[in-house]
Amino acid sequence: MGSEEVLKKIAGSSGDEFFSPVPEGYEKGKTKFIIIAGSVMSGVGKGIFASSLAKLLKYYGLNVAPIKIDGYLNQDAGTLNPFRHGEVFVLDDGLECDMDLGSYERFLMQPLSRENYLTAGMIFDKILKRERKGDYLGRDVQFIPHVTGEVKQALRKLAVKSKADVVLVEIGGTVGDFENAYVIEAMREMIYEEGKNNTCFINISYILEPPNLGEQKSKPAQLGIERLRGLGIQPDIMVCRSSNPIADKIKEKISVYSNVEVENVIGLHNTDTVYKAPFLLKDLKADERVVSLLNLNSKISNRMQKKELERWNKFVEKYTNIDEKVTIGIAGKYTGLNDSYASILKALEHAGTHNNLRIKIKYIETTAVEEGKLSEKEALEDVDGLIVPGGFGKRGAEGKIKCIRYARRKKIPFLGLCFGFQMAVIEFARVKAGMENADSTELEPEAQEPVIDILPEQKKIEGLGGNMRLGGQDVEIKRGTKSYELYGKENIRLRFRHRYEVNPKYISKLEESGIVFSGKHPKYNIMQVLELKDHPYFLATQAHPEFNSRPLEPEPLFNGFISAARNSRDKFV
């Protein structure tokens, strides 16, 4: 039986062993598949490599749809601790997902959806629900063919919905992880069913360079290749990540052990910024090799890619040649891991580059401020601007409020995000609106003056997962405000991730005391952006505008904040 016949088999159709469901409208060969997996260690840079390759292919004029597959059993990334997994990135359709999808959105300058993300939890939930309904017609439900079939189904559905020329698949973790075994098997089946000219498997491996030896060692990479081939997959391209450029003898060793031609063994060493990664891949002709392997030459435009790369290069040159600096304080409780605030850091980079400023970050652990181990003056006296980011729970909350109070009084530019918006409301209510006992019911369930309360529609929902206001929402901006000056229009769209909001009961009193709610829900009494008039820059939003920032299109609230931070710095120079 050939791959064409296998591809046409439907789940449980005749008790056969094939399970390769084909979505309506799917045509074999119309969409090509690039599969990227890592070995030796996690954190090898699969996301940046995949984003950069996708960018180059998109610049050719190809329609590229990325998908990240994570092996954990969570339904999504929403309940994962930022210390363990980095930030939770929220898509416009409300899916909470891996931070790598943020990299894809920023590099590709295009919004993604829940079809671009897949977890083991999603797969097994779907299978178990179907089994309970009797959809498998009495069959025993197994990893092969049913679990692997669902993985392939997800890739083909994405191909149909996105009308992609290329679906780029990133497999989280590493080759050899137990939780990835069925995903790797699904990719083996995918290569078998789709055909070699329609698939390209790229293995990203790490080349060690122990300081005490002073030379690169390829043995761990060789063992990773051996494991991959033992699982039935022959890579088409080997990418060797390293601190320094790969020696020719290392490439030759990898070529011999992987059965990959030397010209398809690519050395990818560290650069001083991820923004240069697309140019490094271009210099190595990685995109050209992929195009050749997938027979896409007739679909690409070299002229278009050259033009788009010139545009990108202007941004990169500007970013790398900036000398002026501003110091931005980030007052939070996940300050021990940069990835906890990845999108905020990127949004600051985008706005900083637009304003010809290099951003220096000062992390402020608000638990220390709360406990009196660090005063707000010590924390903020050397910053040009303050960001209080999102978060959950009571720990460090009073420390954030102290930092906001200091920034408000000392006229330090301030930007509050989500939880930071709520803390700004509480601080203002206590000091300026005469509500000494103002609080949030998230922090004090029996608060006497609950200026921040749970969303009415959430009060009947229990559990942490899936009960928040998530994703893109329309925001109505009030004319004559700083927010309107920044956005230049009355209707915008921002992404949200929260359960609590400004209690409608206290809105009038807060406004009478001086808060300007410059952004609200178009239909409901939900406050979404606030600002103060007697301050150089004091804005906060219930949203996460950092998710909308792009390298060539800095997010307006961040752009205005960095501009104000420059003015703040200049006052004290």
Domain boundaries, the chain: 9-315, 323-571
Statement: 323-571 belongs to CATH 3.40.50.880: yes
Answer for the pair 537, 328: CB distance below 8 angstroms, yes or no: no
Any residues with CB less than 8 A from the CB of 11 and at least 6 apart, and which? 19, 21, 135, 136, 146, 149
| Per-residue confidence (pLDDT) for residue 2, from 0 to 100 | 54
Longest CA pairwise span in the chain (Å): 79
SS3 8: coil
**How many other C-beta atoms can be found within 10 angstroms of the C-beta atom of residue 392?**
17
Give dist(CA 315, CA 297) in Å, integer.
28
Distances (CA, A) of 409 to 178, 334, 380: 54, 25, 12
Statement: 9-315 belongs to CATH 3.40.50.1000: no
| Per-residue confidence (pLDDT) for residue 549, from 0 to 100 | 97
Give dist(CA 419, CA 58) in Å, integer.
36
Domains 9-315 and 323-571 belong to one CATH topology: yes
Closest CA to 35 of 163, 158, 169: 169
pTM, two decimals, is 0.91
Handedness of CA 231, 237, 240, 241 (dihedral sign): negative
Tell me the sheet residues that pair with 89. Answer: 97
| Per-residue confidence (pLDDT) for residue 425, from 0 to 100 | 97
pLDDT tens-digit readout, 377-395: 999 999 999 999 988 888 8
Any residues with CB less than 8 A from the CB of 281 and at least 6 apart, and which? 49, 52, 53, 56, 266, 268, 287
Residue with tokens 């002229």, as numbered in its chain? 303
List the catalytic residues: 418, 544, 546
What is the DSSP track for 94-129?
Answer: S-EE-THHHHHHHHHTS---GGGEEEHHHHHHHHHH
Distances (CA, A) of 195 to 135, 229, 255: 29, 18, 23
Any residues with CB less than 8 A from the CB of 225 and at least 6 apart, and which? 39, 203, 205, 235, 238, 254, 257, 258
Give dist(CA 78, CA 481) in Å, integer.
34
Q: Taking CA 487 as the corner, what is the angle to CA 484 and CA 489, rounded to the nearest 5 degrees?
A: 70
Tell me the sheet residues that pair with 205. Answer: 39, 240
SS3 495: strand
pLDDT tens-digit readout, 108-121: 999 999 999 999 99
| Per-residue confidence (pLDDT) for residue 464, from 0 to 100 | 44
Write down the mean pLDDT value for the chain.
90
| Per-residue confidence (pLDDT) for residue 22, from 0 to 100 | 87
| Per-residue confidence (pLDDT) for residue 211, from 0 to 100 | 83
Give dist(CA 219, CA 229) in Å, integer.
15
Segments of the chain with pLDDT less than 50: 1, 6, 9-15, 461-466, 573
Handedness of CA 258, 234, 171, 147 (dihedral sign): negative
